[in-house]
Amino acid sequence: MDRKRGAAAAGQAWQLYSETLQSDAPGFWERLRAVPRMLKAVLKGEYKGMSVGTLGLLALGLVYIVWPLDAIPELLPVVGLVDDAGVAIWLATVLLRASGDFVRWERGGRPRAVAGDIID
C-alpha cells in the first residue's frame, strides 16, 4: 500500500472515530453490536442502505486477510503485513460506517422505502 492510500485509510478511520464521538451519532460499541443485525437485514432484503455487492466485497476482504496466500507475502518483514492491515482498516471502516447508518435507520422506525427506490 503506497503512502497516499495509507493516508487516505487513516483519514477515513479518523473521520469515523470523530463521528462516533458526536452526541447524536451512534457510538463505537453500538455500531459494533449492530453489525450482525445489519448483515442479517441486508441478506433478508429489509435494509437497502447496503447492497449485497458491497457485502460480497467485504467478504472478499475478510478472505484476503485470513487467506495464507497474499499479493504481498508476509515473508517480507513489514510490507507483507501492511497490505493486510490496509485491508483490515478498510473493512472495519466500511462496516462501522454502514452500521452507524443502519442504527440511524433502526431509530427512525425502519422505513421500508429508501430515497431513490421505486415504489409500486
Structural domain includes residue 18:
no
Is 6 a member of any domain?
A: no
pLDDT in tens, 1-16: 456 666 666 666 666 6
Instruction: Quote the CA–CA distance of 26 and 19 in Å, as a whole number.
Output: 8
d(C-alpha 52, C-alpha 114), whole Å: 15
Model confidence pLDDT, tens digit, residues 40-74? 999 998 888 898 899 999 999 898 888 877 666 66
Percent of the chain with pLDDT over 70: 62
* Domain contains 17: no
Classify residue 19: in a domain, yes or no.
no
What is the CA angle 80-52-98, rounded to 5? 70
State the residue range of the domain holding 32.
25-107
Which residue in 86, 83, 95, 88 sits closest to 34, CA to CA?
95
Number of domains the chain is built from: 1
Q: pTM for the whole thing?
A: 0.68
Name the DSSP class of 45: T
Residue 92 included in any domain: yes
